[in-house]
Amino acid sequence: MPSMTVPPPDRVSVDVKMQRLNIEWSDGHVSVFPLDALRQACPCAECQGDDVERITKPGVFHIFRQKNRWQNLTVETAGSVGLRITWDDGHSGGIYRWDRLRSLQPADDDPT
């Protein structure tokens, strides 16, 4: 299966107040992930979040419906592959690859 060509991210930021991770891609697409949905989508062998196929962008009141509120997370790049997130619960086993993040929330014209 050929891998999806993904433009590199220009900027990654975390908004703890709004409980979301923002990725601005070099092609202009912006992905906005609810933090709790990302935690549930952790791709490590223990969590098996690879069963998650899509994560919808959060709505205005989405932060109040999240199961958990994440306050002290650390987001760092994992080489050129993607992101490693260390969550409040201490978990940091998954690397969120750029192609996986893009496939979880593709632009309207991205192939599916």
Q: In this prediction, what percent of the chain has a pLDDT beyond 70?
A: 86
Q: What is the mean pLDDT of residues 98-108?
A: 90
Q: What is the mean pLDDT of residues 11-29?
A: 94
Query: Cβ–Cβ contacts within 10 Å for residue 108, how many?
Result: 5
Q: Which residues contact 21 (CB under 8 A, 6 or more apart)?
A: 12, 13, 14, 15, 32, 33, 35, 38, 75, 85
Tell me, what amino acid is at 98? Answer: W
Which residue has tokens 């419906």? Answer: 65
The answer on pLDDT for 14 being more than 80 is: yes
Q: What is the mean pLDDT of residues 33-61?
A: 85
Which residue ranges form the domains of the chain, and what is each CATH number?
9-59+68-104 (3.30.2020.30)
**By the 8 A CB rule, do 106 and 112 touch?**
yes
The answer on pLDDT for 55 being more than 50 is: yes
User: What per-residue confidence (pLDDT) applies to 4?
Assistant: 61
pTM: 0.85
The answer on pLDDT for 86 being more than 50 is: yes
User: What per-residue confidence (pLDDT) applies to 1?
Assistant: 35
